[in-house]
Structure 1
Amino acid sequence: MEKGFEINFDKNTIDHLGIKLYSSFPPVIAEMISNSYDADAEYVQVKINYIDKIVSIIDDGHGMSHDELNKSFLVIGRNRREDEKTGLSKIKKRKVTGKKGLGKLAVFGIAKTIEVHSIKDGLKNAFRINYEQLKSAENSSYIPEVISEHLPTSEPNGTIVIIKDIKQKNITSIDDLAISLSSRFSFFDTDFSVTIENPNNKTENKPVTKSLYFDNLEKEYTWKFPEDFSEEIKKDIHLKFLNDHNVTGEIFTKKTPLKSSETGFLLYARKKLASEHVFFNDRSNDRFNSYVTGFFHIDFIDESNNDDIIATARQSILWDENEDIKTLKLGLDALVKKIGNDWKKKRKETKSKKIDKLIPDDFFNELSPVEKASLTKVKNALLSNSTDSNDVEPVIKVLDTMKSMYKFESFQAYVEDLQEDQLTLEAVTKIASDWEAIESKELAKVAVGRIQAIEQFEKYVNEDASESKVIQPFLEKFPWILDPRITSFEREITFKRILKENFEDEDLEEKNRRIDFLCNAVNGELIIIELKRPSIKISLKEIQQARRYERFIKEKYKNAYGNKVTTYLISDRYSMDDEALDMAESYENDGKLFIKSYSELLEKAKQFNQEFIKKYEEINNIKQDTNTKNS
């Protein structure tokens, strides 16, 4: 009967594949559980003594004989699949996860001592390996300390791995370890269950399930491959490749950004983690990446007993190893891009529905069709460019602000020139914060125009310009000089036939058979404006003519205006004789007729537009300062 145990090794291998490869607690425990799965175990207990810092992994697998321990377990770098000419477990025919024969060294990344106790067919064998003794061995072989050999027992088959002298100050909590193990394997089910326990506190125990890792995720949307992509698989060669190679998976997005340690995808081969938190395009930096996670089963990359596609520490896949692996990466990237586009569409639709519910029905009423179309374009762009948030209030606030800006032509032109990707909440909010500058620019344009109009009108008055040929057309263009209340007017309302029937030729000259301006005021009042040349002196005749016009209009439009008709007679000379003055004062007191001078109109126009004049002066000062600096 064979006695003793022996390891043959290169000393550097222990460091490279032990301490330097595994330095955290969860992946070490994962390697031990992987061995239990491959040994056809159905139940594994992980007991963590946090006080004494001892961890025991107990399974009910087929166990190992003394010979198997020596020739299989203790051989470093043994490819079990090649040696046994199969990639399946002995009893349950599971696709075994182990291949490189290095997992046993993982323990020395976190501890100094490991004990292995295994029972098979009524015999118990056990040994202890100490890292420091292993490293100090004089040659390339090491004799582990024997605990028991060929010891008869009635205990069932199985293996216990005990990890002692743990170097870590704080051992991972049971809850965190359970979540980590859940992410590392997809084989947890009724046929293989794992429970983590604290022997010093019976209330601390946690079953590990394959959904535990993703159960903690507050999911917004979920996609399954290939189930949700049947039509796309027919059209896209990359997705067809995935389907033909039996790639399956689920993709999840969260409403809010994931932690950086949670983003990306978990890839499983033979139900064991092959790569974690990975994306498939090194240049990808899409916002979508902050919201997406999930997993894929890619068993075909690990079907060979010889080819080695997965990095030893299970952190990455050798993507450039062969054409199939390269095509796999392209296919997964294509799938994720499609899901990213669908995610943006779903988020946009959800936000759009929320906005439509919150925006008042009359929100667009004040806008022209062109303005409405422009603002709708902005809304759609904002929704597309703000998929990283479900909050619709900032979008509504920006739209409301922009609506008030649309009365300024320069702002509309500015928005129309922006590309869709430039219409972000941040950019548009900045425009709103800079609105004072935009408004000042627009106000300056109005100021310049109004000041020029007032100056031109003053020039016409001083030159005694013709009221019909010069002043009247000018005031038609700038009616606010006459009265800021005027909203619309009709020039030269001529009633030649009607006026001829009502006024004798000798009393009304042909050229005067007209009303200069008939205007609508903001309060519904009708305003009659009669213009005279600035140098013409107002007499009783002009007053009477204006009053007769008023009576005629009242009679003609009595149903529309009733008595809301006011007449203005305008000239720059109204030094009247006593009789005309008495009549004018009487009419003015009754509110029937008002005589104004062009000079008075000019003064009122300047007062009313004082804000524009001030802005105009500021602009000129800025221009002068700029010119001085540049000269």
Structure 2
Amino acid sequence: MTSLKFSIANNAVTHLGRNLYSTTPPALAELVANSYDAYATEVNIKLSNDSIVIIDNGKGLDLVELEQKYAIIGSEKQEEAPINGLDERKPMGKKGIGKLAAFSLGNIYTVYSKSRGSSANDWLKFTLNYRQMTASNDYDVEVTETELPEEFSEFESYTSGFIVKITDTRRRITEATRNNIRKQLSRRFYINQSKTNFKLKLDGQELELASNEYYNKIQYVVYFGNLEEDEIKSKFENVEILEKYSKIPHIATYFSNSNISGWIGTTNKPKDLKNEDGASFANIIILANGKIADEDILKSKSNARIANNYIVGEIVADDFISKLDDPITSSRQGLDDSIPEVEELILNLDKVRDFVIERWDEIRRENAIENLPERIKSNQSYTDWLSGLTEEQKKINNKLLDLFSNKLDDDVALDANAVDSMVTSISTVINNIEADDLIASFEEEEDSDAQYALLFKLMTNIAKMEDLNHANLIRKRLSAIEKLERLMADDSTAEKVFEKHLSDNPWLINPYWNVDRNTPTETDYLRNQEFFNLDRGNDEFKRNFLDISIRVAEEEYPIIIELKKNTADGYARVDFNMINEQITNYRQAMIQNIPELRTVDETDIKVIFVLSENTGMIGAGNKIEFTAREKQMLDISNITILKYSKIIAEARKMYQDHLKYQKEAKLIPDLSTDS
């Protein structure tokens, strides 16, 4: 048994280990990079709720190497000679501080190291404790020779290797965490595994290090540097548009001369670049010697362009970074942009990104209709409307649809009615734009004959706009009818919901009741839950709340509308006596409290009683039934029984001719049907 002395002045363990990595993937990547630099051909990562283990079959370290290489924090990393006939690997690490990444994962880690030439079961073992190391500038640990514990028995055959077991972990490992680590590690390395003979496994599953999951979701790619078309095509088999950057020749030349190669691409939707936990890959990374050197090279050039949520890129800059002196910032967050060469790289990549955004805008507009839901794209009415547009109108339509499609691309689901409403509203705007253009042309034209021709066209357009406004009104009313149908079909719909919908759309009950409840001066004409006390004498009062009361020019007195929910059970299951008693109380209370009604016979106050569609004459098998005599008495009492199903039937019948004309005129697309 011997000791190993670590020199850790100035809180190096905290600054260079604990505080450098705020999440698990980058810390793990540092430890994997150490294994790669040690010429490992296989690295196994094992995750559990109480430990993280990284096992490799690299060169390992003997006691002297542990003292000279491992225990000296921050020394320049020495290149290792290849083993097992492997080609030379350019080291991923430079400063020898990656080992401290283990302390961002847990408070204690144990090392098992076996160097080449050691006896079969001869492993060196020592344990580092974060709290103890940070308590002193010098830290001694005991190194013992041991056999591997049972948990590592599958690796006993290694002739050399290095194992780091981290305990007292700082973050809980969930299935979502595993999935995120898997994807993040794949992106943090770019290694041609067939050429380098290097495998990385997470809980037994091998990771693909030469491609990422989002590769098959890339639609448009711009590439630059010394990449060949065949090489980029093999990477993106499903890419729709591919082109080499050449817009600014001196920038294209810069990448070739600097031996910097890469690509920037766009996806169809932002979610194509997101993990299950919402983490986004929508950025451009820099890779050096197979490992990520900057997670977001254009972070200092951020902008609010929507396109940035769709953009991803990978840049390989091995030679470029190797020539820089200390290129990584002290925070390990990426390349140091205060270095002139790095600043130049950022400026040139920003220009390429601008080009990608311009092309993205063009492509999106050209294909704006393709981004709509399939039910709209295949709607015959919509395709007929599109076919009637001029080229200029098509361009404007595509531009507006493109702005809207960005919202469709969001992860938040949009109601189908809201989507339909937006599409038809855009159609209305297109027709309005035509009228505005005609007016502008009329004012600029001096020739009288030309003015007359424009005037005739303008009058035609105004007539068309009147039809269009009428069509929009029909659309709104159809939407209200469809909503009432949905409320009827839902057994859980409360009475209050029916009351609000009929209050907002009183024309459903009577087509002439066009009260606009959004206009303050109109609110007195229609009231909800109007309250009246009925004085029964002897200090006895009955409280009455009218569901809806409406005052219209066609009727001399206020109209009472009482309604029940569409489900004929509980309070909503009424009979003749219940209706008669309730309405009598309402009428008498109104007469007592409204002076102009004092001399009115109570049957002069019209009542509409809205009931479930499960209502009919006795013997028909409905839950709510009336005899012929009861129905006659209600009619005589000026009480109309109205079923929800009849409201729907009458409303649809009323607008049938309007709809037929609208479809034939093709003023705006009819998205209420698939035919």
Correspondence 1:58 to 2:55 = yes
Tell me which residue corresponds to 1:141. Answer: 138
Label 1:109 to 1:353 Cα distance change in 2 as closer, same or farther (>3 A): closer
**Offset of 1:117 from its aligned partner?**
1.1
**Offset of 1:253 from its aligned partner?**
2.0
Tell me which residue corresponds to 1:400. Answer: 427
Correspondence 1:346 to 2:363 = yes
CA distance in 2, matches of 1:218, 1:411: 44
CA distance in 2, matches of 1:415, 1:133: 86
CA distance in 2, matches of 1:218, 1:101: 37
Deviation string, structure 1 residues 547-576 (Cα, Å, up to 9, x no partner) = xxxxxxxxxxxxxxxxxxxxxxxxxxxxxx
Deviation string, structure 1 residues 392-429 (Cα, Å, up to 9, x no partner) = 97786345324554685688549999xxxxxxxxxxxx
Label 1:9 to 1:314 Cα distance change in 2 as closer, same or farther (>3 A): closer
2:322 to 275, 279, 303: 303
Correspondence 1:99 to 2:94 = yes
Name the SS of the counterpart of 1:307 in structure 2.
Answer: coil
Correspondence 1:252 to 2:252 = no
1:331 to 340, 348, 353: 348
8 A contact 2:260–2:320 mirrored in 1: no
Label 1:121 to 1:383 Cα distance change in 2 as closer, same or farther (>3 A): same
Comparing 70-79 and 283-292, the one that deviates more: 283-292
2:162 to 150, 159, 164: 159
8 A contact 1:309–1:318 mirrored in 2: yes
CA distance in 2, matches of 1:220, 1:390: 18
**Offset of 1:234 from its aligned partner?**
8.5
8 A contact 2:25–2:181 mirrored in 1: yes
Correspondence 1:184 to 2:188 = yes
Tell me which residue corresponds to 1:290. Answer: 309
Tell me which residue corresponds to 1:6. Answer: 5
**Offset of 1:382 from its aligned partner?**
3.0
CA distance in 1, matches of 2:443, 2:132: 76
**Offset of 1:169 from its aligned partner?**
3.8
**Offset of 1:319 from its aligned partner?**
1.8
Name the SS of the counterpart of 1:94 in structure 2.
Answer: coil
Q: Aligned AA for 2:162?
A: T
8 A contact 1:178–1:206 mirrored in 2: no
**Offset of 1:363 from its aligned partner?**
6.1
Q: Aligned AA for 1:112?
A: N
Deviation string, structure 1 residues 558-611 (Cα, Å, up to 9, x no partner) = xxxxxxxxxxxxxxxxxxxxxxxxxxxxxxxxxxxxxxxxxxxxxxxxxxxxxx
Name the SS of the counterpart of 1:240 in structure 2.
Answer: helix
CA distance in 1, matches of 2:12, 2:43: 29
Tell which structure's C-alpha radius of gyration is larger.
Answer: 1
Correspondence 1:241 to 2:244 = no
Label 1:130 to 1:407 Cα distance change in 2 as closer, same or farther (>3 A): closer
CA distance in 2, matches of 1:269, 1:206: 25
8 A contact 1:280–1:332 mirrored in 2: no
Correspondence 1:45 to 2:44 = yes
Q: Aligned AA for 1:99?
A: K
Q: Aligned AA for 2:32?
A: I
**Offset of 1:291 from its aligned partner?**
0.8
**Offset of 1:295 from its aligned partner?**
1.3
Q: Over the residues paired in the alignment, what is the CA RMSD in angstroms?
A: 3.9
Q: Aligned AA for 1:401?
A: T
Tell me which residue corresponds to 1:168. Answer: 171
CA distance in 1, matches of 2:371, 2:143: 71
CA distance in 2, matches of 1:20, 1:231: 40
**Offset of 1:102 from its aligned partner?**
1.0
**Offset of 1:241 from its aligned partner?**
0.8
The aligned runs of 1:27-38 (5 Å cut-off) are 27-38=26-37
**Offset of 1:61 from its aligned partner?**
0.7
The aligned runs of 1:157-236 (5 Å cut-off) are 157-170=160-173, 173-187=177-191, 189-190=193-194, 191-197=197-203, 205-211=204-210, 213-215=212-214, 218-225=217-224, 226-227=227-228, 232-233=245-246, 236=249
Name the SS of the counterpart of 2:292 in structure 1.
Answer: strand
Deviation string, structure 1 residues 273-308 (Cα, Å, up to 9, x no partner) = 11114436625321110111121112233214x711
Label 1:72 to 1:149 Cα distance change in 2 as closer, same or farther (>3 A): farther
The aligned runs of 1:173-572 (5 Å cut-off) are 173-187=177-191, 189-190=193-194, 191-197=197-203, 205-211=204-210, 213-215=212-214, 218-225=217-224, 226-227=227-228, 232-233=245-246, 236-258=249-271, 259=274, 261-279=280-298, 282=301, 284-304=303-323, 307-322=325-340, 324-351=341-368, 360=383, 372=390, 375-376=393-394, 378-379=396-397, 381-382=399-400, 385=403, 388=406, 397-398=424-425, 400-402=427-429, 404-405=431-432, 412-413=439-440
CA distance in 1, matches of 2:52, 2:299: 37
Q: TM-score, normalised by structure 1?
A: 0.55
CA distance in 1, matches of 2:29, 2:80: 19
**Offset of 1:130 from its aligned partner?**
1.5
Correspondence 1:113 to 2:101 = no
CA distance in 2, matches of 1:223, 1:308: 30
**Offset of 1:315 from its aligned partner?**
2.2
Deviation string, structure 1 residues 432-478 (Cα, Å, up to 9, x no partner) = xxx99x989xxxxxxxxxxxxxxxxxxxxxxxxxxxxxxxxxxxxxx
Deviation string, structure 1 residues 311-338 (Cα, Å, up to 9, x no partner) = 245422112202x222211221122122
Name the SS of the counterpart of 1:5 in structure 2.
Answer: strand
Q: Aligned AA for 1:65?
A: D
Label 1:224 to 1:406 Cα distance change in 2 as closer, same or farther (>3 A): closer
Name the SS of the counterpart of 2:110 in structure 1.
Answer: strand
**Offset of 1:35 from its aligned partner?**
0.6
Name the SS of the counterpart of 1:4 in structure 2.
Answer: strand
* Structure 2 gap segments, 5+ residues each: 149-155, 230-241, 410-418, 445-464, 471-675
8 A contact 1:38–1:89 mirrored in 2: no
CA distance in 1, matches of 2:199, 2:442: 61
Name the SS of the counterpart of 2:367 in structure 1.
Answer: helix
Label 1:7 to 1:255 Cα distance change in 2 as closer, same or farther (>3 A): same
Label 1:384 to 1:17 Cα distance change in 2 as closer, same or farther (>3 A): same
Label 1:63 to 1:395 Cα distance change in 2 as closer, same or farther (>3 A): same
CA distance in 1, matches of 2:392, 2:158: 80
CA distance in 1, matches of 2:433, 2:139: 84
**Offset of 1:181 from its aligned partner?**
0.9
**Offset of 1:14 from its aligned partner?**
1.4
Q: Aligned AA for 2:393?
A: L
Q: TM-score, normalised by structure 2?
A: 0.52
Label 1:385 to 1:69 Cα distance change in 2 as closer, same or farther (>3 A): same
**Offset of 1:206 from its aligned partner?**
2.3
Label 1:400 to 1:173 Cα distance change in 2 as closer, same or farther (>3 A): closer
Name the SS of the counterpart of 2:308 in structure 1.
Answer: helix
